[in-house]
Amino acid sequence: MQVQNIFKFNLEDILSKKLTCASQPNSLALGRRVFYWFEEHQQYWLKTQALQNEVSLEDAFQRELDFYSSLSEKQIESIALPFQILKHSTVVNNFNIGMPLLILPHAKFLFDEPTNTLNIDQIKHKMLQALSVLENLHKAGWLHADLKAEHFVEYNNQTKLIDFEQSIKIKDTLKFSQLNATPRHMAPELFHAEAKSIASDIYALGIVFYEWLKQERLFANNYYDWAVLHCQTLKIELPESFICFKRTLDAMLIKQKTDRLIDISALKMSLITENV
């Protein structure tokens, strides 16, 4: 059963609400439209794209729509937030909209809490939840292909993924020659123009874990410096209190793709069995 709608919002009712535009100025110039509103103590997001502005953004938003539309109800529950796609051309806050409207509820970022406010078991739990939702995504046949800390959220006490604009079906990865990725989270092989893979998703999540544990963002001045960092100089150095996570991070961040541990069940077991 393919699920197109989880929410049942009425377009006219939504447009009658006080919608607040959250799009950045540069996104507005390229046609991206993001709004939010509140209803019964819940915040909702409305995301869409104006046509004939920026083809790459149109294509990316269509990939996200295709991703949500492809999921079964069971997959939605294990991977993504509840959603609604309204397939209407309309005008929102004086913006001409040419693509469908994607509606999502607001959710708290999974990695918002600093690690120094959590105990080891709480940290392990969040990391295991992130691995599990990524495992569910891969089992459903998809790569996220642009994992960042802000793409993991908590909703109704469950971990979900968001922002599927770069998502790719695993069986179709070789068809995508254009590389759209964030250098901070790029696996070494991507700097050599290899296709995205389960291994590159694992590497990106490893960087998310590493930055969260250290409470520091990796830094490089430019694309070349990012390539040198990921391909040559990155070394996992954790505070003594978190050294129990080093073995797992080392396995996720091995530079050679063929040596990287991509079995998420094994990664979860590694976390569970680590001693403080």
Predicted structure pTM score: 0.92
43 and 149 part of one domain: no
Burial zone of 33 (CB within 10 Å; 0-12 exposed, 13-18 middle, 19+ buried): buried
Reduced to 3 states, what is the DSSP secondary structure of residue 241?
A: helix
Q: 2 pairs with which residues across the strands?
A: 72
Distance CA 248, CA 253 (A): 9
123 and 194 part of one domain: yes
Categorize the per-residue pLDDT at 65 as very low, low, confident or very high, splitting at 50, 70 and 90: very high
Identify the weakest region by mean pLDDT among 8-17, 76-85, 128-137.
8-17
CATH number at residue 130: 1.10.510.10
- 5 in any annotated domain: no
Segment 222-241 mean pLDDT: 96
- 36 in any annotated domain: yes
- 6 in any annotated domain: no
Residue-range definition of the domain harbouring residue 238: 108-273
**Confidence at residue 275, expressed as pLDDT on a 0 to 100 scale:** 66
**pLDDT tens figures, 177-186:** 566 788 999 9
73 and 203 part of one domain: no
146 and 268 part of one domain: yes
Q: Is the pLDDT of residue 1 over 50?
A: no
**Confidence at residue 176, expressed as pLDDT on a 0 to 100 scale:** 63
17 and 136 part of one domain: no
- 4 in any annotated domain: no
147 and 249 part of one domain: yes
Q: Domain boundary at 105, 128, 143, which?
A: 105
Q: 168 pairs with which residues across the strands?
A: 143
- 208 in any annotated domain: yes
Q: Domain boundary at 70, 89, 105, which?
A: 105
Mean pLDDT of the chain: 90
133 and 82 part of one domain: no
Q: Domain boundary at 55, 76, 105, which?
A: 105
97 and 128 part of one domain: no
73 and 138 part of one domain: no
75 and 156 part of one domain: no
What is the SS3 string spanning 84-123?
EEECCCEEECCEEECCCEEEEECCEECCCCCHHHCCHHHH
71 and 93 part of one domain: yes
The secondary structure of the chain in percent helix, strand, coil, rounded to multiples of 5, reads 45, 20, 35
100 and 147 part of one domain: no
- 3 in any annotated domain: no
Q: Is the pLDDT of residue 5 over 60?
A: no
Number of compact structural domains in the chain: 2
- 22 in any annotated domain: yes
Identify the weakest region by mean pLDDT among 80-89, 237-246, 248-257.
80-89
Q: What residues contact 262, with CB distance under 8 A and at least 6 apart?
A: 198, 199, 202
